[in-house]
């Protein structure tokens, strides 16, 4: 069984795990929200601003509700650091200076990718993402698929890795899923490529791989933990053995880190706390941890900061549905304002009554209100006055979750001809059947707009073919495609033996114990009986002995020294395969031989001048045996003819 994942083009190359990266980003963001944390923005003096504008490629209008994810390379891994939903097409991030990758996506539209975006300290970086309508995917057998799995050599488990494929002067990068169970997958033109597999804390794997058109190339990589690495954290104390002391500004140095040292800093009312993930391998990790009393100079305040009440105003934000007055709890309200020339950020979340409140100094604030599953809303220049309440109502519109579509292609493995009437079953990860169809005359089964976004198992069965199965991730509003090349069933091989007398004009055996040319004991005939045996093996077997018992009383030949017929020891049976003699004495075994057909030439010294038929028996070392009746023959030795 083999299966081929087909995805959208990115030039000539498809990185299937763009969708898996989106899952990784969503997973990290959801985890941060569940913990009351946020990964958005960095509020300190060395930040730069990243402004993203999402517009429709068709009409140039702003696109609201687009998902914007920002990631950065750490320890050879692309790590999500920020995300947001556009409001009126706009999204803003305050980020530490550096190089980032930006992904802008929305259901029903093609995603926009920006690599190596440079954010400069104290400056604005602006991106315009033009989102075009997505097109259906079509099968194309002129490409091959590279599927890369990675495993921990010592722990025997899947690893999440970064895979780089070098294409000409460029390269393409893919990722396996966070738990390693979904491989990194690439769609490539036929040819040879250099591939590199990396994970922090493990040795790097490099190899040349060959891609064939219309075929899968599955690569299983074993990564060994790297040696000689270490990590140190100034925050490590007896009270904080893991180094996550949010009340002290610490620094971390790791031999596998991208930059050194890493110093804790404030991110709004949270602290960006660096710590050693695995000291022995030198990995540096980062947690964004909320500060109950605010954050100052890279550490949480131990006690609340008291601000004179007459200097503050109160901002109350009520978040509700756009279609009715029902309140929305858990919505995130991001506030941004300038403190001199420094952009500051703060966050609050709506309670069970949809209300989020915060005491703020007098001034103007920009609000970005968002929640997973809703289109965000942006309010600019909201004025907060001293000693007064400012009340704002924000209405959010739910995002309509679109189903995805799946097209399955089924072809013959050897001819690539379409297979009609194959049964295609779509199941959930627990194995429950959800949908089932048969392929049409073109070998295609289409599930149009009926699959909620999720991962599915797809199984294909067809008469006289081996069953095939694969997994596919269906995304909202998009087409996914999965191809199967099915192999015909191979009928099981049965153990069998046939033999007959072939000639009697050679001299390769003698009488008792002579496994070389000789003559008869009484008749002095030098010629041997030459039998041709065809042995079909159902599995790999080794031959213990071969015996020919003549129908004439007292005659027989064997490779075994103690074999008897009619109460007499037998003459030697010399065995040849491909003109090579296999035995030179009694008791020698042959093989093992793999399943399939074996042709043997057998020689025995002539005693009686005619062969009146007999029984050939092949015994195996596993205790089994097979026999065949050998017919009577009119063949006689040449010397007997004279």
Listing DSSP states for 194-255 in one string gives EEEEE-TTB--EEEEEEE-TT-EEEEEEEEPBP-S--EEETT--SS-TTS--TTS--EEEET
The topology under which CATH files domain 406-486 is: Immunoglobulin-like (2.60.40)
Report yes or no: 144 and 219 within 8 Å, Cβ to Cβ.
Answer: no
Both structure tokens of 445: 């089964």
Q: Which residue has the higher pLDDT, 230 or 604?
A: 604
**Pair 18, 232: CB distance under 8 Å:** no
- Asked if residues 483 and 138 have their Cβ atoms less than 8 Å apart, the reply is no
Beta-carbon count within 10 A of 42 CB: 23
How many whole angstroms separate alpha carbon 599 and alpha carbon 534?
Answer: 5
pLDDT-wise least confident of 55-59, 146-150, 384-388, 583-587: 55-59
State the pLDDT at residue 640.
55
Distance CA 16, CA 187 (A): 8
Predicted confidence (pLDDT) per residue in 87-144, tens digit: 777 888 888 888 888 888 776 677 787 888 888 888 888 888 888 765 433 334 567 7
> Mean pLDDT across the stretch 605-634?
92
H or E element at residue 355: strand 355-360
Query: What CATH class is the domain 496-641?
Result: mainly beta
pLDDT for 34 equals: 31
If pLDDT is split at 50, 70 and 90, which confidence band does 512 have?
A: confident
Residues 265, 232: Cα–Cα separation, whole Å? 18
The DSSP code sequence of 210-222 is EE-TT-EEEEEEE
Does pLDDT of 8 surpass 50? no
414-461 confidence digits (pLDDT tens): 888 899 999 999 998 888 899 999 999 999 999 998 998 888 999 999
| Dihedral in degrees, nearest 10, Cα atoms 185, 191, 194, 196 | 10
Domain ranges of the chain: 231-300, 309-398, 406-486, 496-641
Most confidently modeled range among 95-104, 269-278, 619-628: 619-628
Q: Is 22 helix (H, G, I), strand (E, B) or coil?
A: helix
Least reliable range by pLDDT among 133-142, 547-556, 593-602? 133-142
pLDDT at 80: 64
pLDDT digits (tens, 9 = 90+) for 154-177: 767 888 888 888 876 667 777 776
CA–CA separation, 100 vs 384, rounded Å? 34
Residues 256, 226: Cα–Cα separation, whole Å: 10
What distance in Å separates the CA atoms of residue 495 and residue 624, rounded to the nearest whole number?
A: 10
- Distance CA(525)–CA(638), nearest Å, equals 9
Mean pLDDT taken over the chain: 79
Q: How confident is the model at residue 24 (pLDDT cuts 50, 70, 90)?
A: very low
Note whether 309-398 and 406-486 share their fold: yes
Of 36-45, 179-188, 477-486, which has the strongest mean pLDDT?
A: 477-486
Q: Is residue 23's pLDDT more than 50? A: no
Q: 141: exposed, middle or buried (C-beta count within 10 Å: 0-12, 13-18, 19+)?
A: middle
Q: Quick one: pLDDT band at residue 626, thresholds 50, 70, 90?
A: very high
- The Cα 207–Cα 158 span in angstroms is 19
Percent of the chain clearing pLDDT 90 (strictly above): 23
**CATH 2.60.40.1120, applies to 309-398:** yes
Buried b (16+ CB within 10 A) or exposed e, 538-569: eeebebbbbbbbbebeebbbbbbeebebeeee
| Residues 312, 360 contacting (CB under 8 angstroms) | yes
Question: How big is the chain, counted in residues?
Answer: 642
| pLDDT (mean) for 475-482 | 82
Q: What distance in Å separates the CA atoms of residue 230 and residue 221, rounded to the nearest whole number? A: 25
- Percent of the chain at pLDDT above 70? 82
pTM above 0.75, yes or no: no
Give the whole-angstrom CA distance, residue 62 versus residue 131: 10
Indicate whether 324 pLDDT > 70: yes
Q: In what order do the strands lie in the sheet with 580-581?
A: 496-506, 528-537, 596-605, 574-577, 580-581
Look up residue 281 and give its DSSP letter: G
Residues contacting 298, CB < 8 A, separation 6+: 249, 263, 264, 265, 266, 271, 272
Neighbour-count burial for 199-219, b at 16+ CB within 10 Å, e otherwise: bbbbeebeeebebeebbbbeb
| Alpha-carbon distances, residue 58 vs 87, 110, 131, 399, 476 (angstroms) | 19, 12, 8, 21, 20
Supply the DSSP symbol for 513: T
């Amino acid at each position: 069984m083999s299966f081929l994942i087909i995805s959208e083009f990115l030039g000539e190359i498809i990185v299937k795990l763009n969708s898996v990266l989106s899952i990784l980003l969503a997973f990290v963001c959801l985890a941060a929200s569940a913990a009351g944390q946020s990964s958005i923005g960095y509020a300190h003096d060395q930040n730069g601003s990243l402004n993203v504008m999402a517009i429709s490629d068709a009409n140039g209008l702003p696109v609201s509700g687009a998902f914007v994810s920002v990631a950065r390379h750490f320890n050879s891994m692309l790590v999500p650091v920020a995300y947001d939903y556009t409001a009126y097409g706009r999204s803003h991030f305050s980020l530490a200076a550096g190089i980032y990758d930006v992904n802008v996506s929305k259901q029903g539209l093609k995603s926009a990718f920006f690599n190596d975006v440079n954010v400069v300290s104290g400056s604005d970086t602006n991106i315009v993402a033009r989102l075009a309508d997505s097109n259906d995917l079509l099968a194309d057998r002129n490409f091959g698929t590279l599927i890369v799995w990675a495993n921990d050599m010592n722990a025997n488990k899947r690893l999440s890795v970064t895979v780089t494929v070098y294409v000409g002067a460029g390269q393409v990068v893919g990722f396996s899923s966070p738990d390693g169970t979904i491989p990194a997958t690439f769609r490539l033109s036929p040819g040879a490529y250099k591939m590199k597999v990396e994970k922090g804390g493990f040795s790097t794997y490099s190899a040349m791989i060959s891609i064939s058109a219309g075929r899968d190339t599955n690569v299983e990589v074993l990564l060994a933990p790297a040696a000689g690495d270490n990590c140190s954290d100034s925050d490590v104390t007896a009270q904080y053995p893991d180094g996550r002391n949010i009340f002290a500004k610490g620094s971390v140095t790791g031999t596998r880190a991208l930059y050194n040292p890493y110093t804790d800093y404030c991110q709004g009312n949270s602290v960006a706390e660096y710590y050693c993930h695995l000291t022995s391998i030198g990995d540096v990790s980062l947690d964004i941890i909320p500060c109950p009393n605010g954050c100052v100079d890279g550490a949480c305040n131990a006690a609340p900061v008291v601000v004179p009440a007459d200097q503050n105003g109160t901002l109350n934000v009520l978040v509700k549905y756009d279609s009715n007055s029902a309140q929305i709890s858990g919505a995130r309200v991001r506030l941004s304002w300038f403190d001199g020339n420094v952009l500051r950020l703060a966050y609050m979340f709506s309670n069970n009554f949809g209300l989020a409140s915060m005491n703020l100094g007098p001034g103007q604030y920009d609000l970005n209100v968002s929640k997973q599953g809703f289109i965000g809303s942006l309010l600019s220049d909201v004025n907060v006055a001293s000693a007064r309440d400012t009340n704002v109502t924000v209405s959010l519109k739910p995002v309509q979750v679109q189903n995805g579509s799946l097209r399955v292609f089924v072809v013959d493995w050897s001819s690539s001809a379409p297979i009609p009437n194959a049964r295609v079953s779509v199941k959930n990860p627990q194995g429950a059947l959800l949908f089932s169809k048969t392929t049409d005359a073109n070998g295609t089964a289409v599930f149009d707009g009926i699959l909620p976004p999720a991962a599915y198992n797809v199984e294909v069965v067809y008469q006289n073919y081996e069953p095939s199965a694969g997994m596919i991730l269906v995304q909202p509003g998009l087409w996914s495609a999965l191809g199967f090349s099915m192999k015909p069933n191979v009928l099981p091989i049965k153990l069998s033996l046939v033999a007959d007398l072939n000639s009697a004009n050679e001299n390769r055996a003698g009488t008792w114990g002579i496994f070389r040319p000789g003559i008869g004991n009484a008749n002095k005939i030098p010629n041997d009986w030459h039998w041709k045996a065809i042995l079909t093996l159902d599995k790999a077997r080794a031959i213990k002995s071969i015996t020919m018992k003549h129908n004439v009383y007292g005659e027989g030949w064997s490779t075994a020294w103690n074999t008897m017929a009619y109460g007499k020891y037998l003459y030697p049976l010399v065995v040849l395969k491909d003109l090579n003699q296999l035995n030179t004495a009694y008791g020698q075994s042959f093989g093992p031989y793999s399943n399939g057909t074996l042709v043997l030439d057998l020689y025995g010294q002539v005693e009686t001048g005619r062969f009146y038929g007999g029984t050939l028996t092949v015994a195996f070392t596993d205790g089994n045996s097979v026999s065949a009746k050998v017919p009577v023959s009119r063949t006689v030795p040449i010397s007997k003819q004279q």
